[in-house]
């Protein structure tokens, strides 16, 4: 940042700086790394050193090796499930919030969002201790007589990942749904009542369709966050809970095959970008100026 001897007035200089920063930051911190990744995905590894010659080998391996595509697909299914469950749980919660008046509404909303302030790792540890074979959930189920002995249904497997991701990501679903519900003008609901609709009809025909943009962005948020997560599967997934994120992680860590990891990342990025675009498109389509 040049301080003196500029012919531009201070204000102009500041606004120029802001403009440059606004463009430079995403370029340097987002676009350039993505481009480097894309570049790396065409390299290969020989005896632990990266060979800087272009080839499509990594992609061929991804599509032909019997390991990767099924895991990739299962991970997408898992994350779609997480998104759906999050929406199903978050929608009633968000709807309930909008029925509250004034201060209570935001106090409760804050409470629901407080978990976002806590360390991700600590939350996973906490959930892990709840889900374990001797965890709170199993003990409670046994004590209540619902189960005879601790169940392994949700211990270190895909189900554990599903439950944990859902719990961790639900605040990200509540917020956009709440905002879209809150933005619906009350007079539209009164107009619907006035035209003879029952409460259920008003909800199904007015509230629900008008809140779909929020649902779409909530779903894409949750999906994107879930699919990019490798820590949760790593910590609660055990051996059977193998996700694409973990494969990626192992390529960069244990396997030390950055080019192949980069190729897998590109595949993941394609899915993430598609999810964001779908969410965005869907959101806009329904949002015809309220």
Looking at the Cβ atoms of 58 and 207, the one nearer to another protein is 207
- Quickly count: other Cβ atoms within 10 Å of residue 161's Cβ: 30
Number of residues forming the site for another protein (CB under 8 A): 21
Q: Which of 70, 108, 80 is nearest to 271 (CA)?
A: 80
- The region of 37-45, 89-97, 190-198, 231-239 touching another protein under the rule CB under 8 A is 190-198
Contact 56, 42 (CB under 8 A): yes
Residues facing 50 on adjacent strands: 45
* 181 lies in the site for another protein, by CB under 8 A: no
**Using CB under 8 A, which of 198, 273, 277, 281 touches another protein?**
198
Positive or negative CA dihedral for 210, 215, 218, 219? negative
Looking at the Cβ atoms of 210 and 262, the one nearer to another protein is 210
Encoded tokens for 226: 């879930």
Looking at the Cβ atoms of 18 and 191, the one nearer to another protein is 191
Looking at the Cβ atoms of 37 and 282, the one nearer to another protein is 282
HSE-CB at 65 with a 13 A cutoff on CA atoms is: 12
Sketch the per residue contact string, 220 through 259, with another protein: x for CB under 8 A, - otherwise. ----------------------------------------
Closest approach, Cβ 143 to another protein, in A, equals 46
Measured distance CA(225)–CA(169) in Å, rounded? 8
* 209 lies in the site for another protein, by CB under 8 A: yes
Looking at the Cβ atoms of 108 and 206, the one nearer to another protein is 206
**Using CB under 8 A, which of 80, 142, 193, 280 touches another protein?**
193
HSE-CB at 210 with a 13 A cutoff on CA atoms is: 19
- Quickly count: other Cβ atoms within 10 Å of residue 282's Cβ: 17
**Using CB under 8 A, which of 103, 194, 239, 254 touches another protein?**
194
Residue 101, H or E segment:
none
Measured distance CA(43)–CA(126) in Å, rounded? 40
Looking at the Cβ atoms of 28 and 191, the one nearer to another protein is 191
Closest approach, Cβ 93 to another protein, in A, equals 23
* 92 lies in the site for another protein, by CB under 8 A: no
């Amino acid at each position: 940042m040049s301080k003196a001897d500029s012919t531009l007035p201070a204000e102009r200089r500041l606004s120029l700086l802001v403009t440059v920063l606004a463009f430079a930051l995403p370029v340097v911190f987002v676009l350039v790394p993505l481009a480097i990744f894309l570049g790396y995905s065409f390299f290969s590894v020989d005896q632990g050193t990266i060979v800087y010659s272009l080839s499509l080998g990594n992609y061929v391996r991804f599509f032909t090796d019997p390991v990767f595509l099924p895991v990739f697909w299962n991970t997408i299914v898992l994350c779609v499930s997480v998104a759906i469950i999050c929406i199903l749980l978050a929608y009633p919660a968000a709807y309930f919030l909008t029925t509250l008046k004034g201060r209570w509404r935001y106090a409760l909303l804050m409470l629901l969002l407080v978990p976002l302030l806590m360390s991700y790792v600590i939350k996973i540890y906490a959930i892990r201790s709840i889900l374990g074979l001797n965890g709170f959930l199993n003990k409670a189920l046994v004590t209540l007589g619902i189960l005879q002995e601790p169940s392994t249904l949700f211990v270190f497997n895909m189900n554990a990942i599903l439950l944990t991701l859902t719990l961790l990501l639900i605040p990200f679903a509540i917020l956009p749904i709440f905002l879209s519900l809150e933005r619906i003008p009350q007079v539209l609901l009164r107009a619907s009542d006035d035209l003879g609709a029952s409460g259920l009809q008003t909800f199904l025909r007015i509230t629900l369709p008008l809140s779909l943009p929020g649902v779409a962005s909530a779903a894409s948020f949750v999906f994107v966050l879930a699919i990019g997560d490798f820590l949760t599967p790593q910590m609660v997934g055990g051996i059977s809970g193998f996700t694409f994120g973990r494969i990626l992680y192992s390529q960069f860590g244990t396997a030390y095959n950055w080019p192949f990891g980069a190729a897998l990342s590109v595949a993941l990025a394609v899915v993430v970008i598609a999810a964001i675009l779908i969410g965005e498109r869907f959101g806009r389509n329904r949002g015809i100026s309220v």
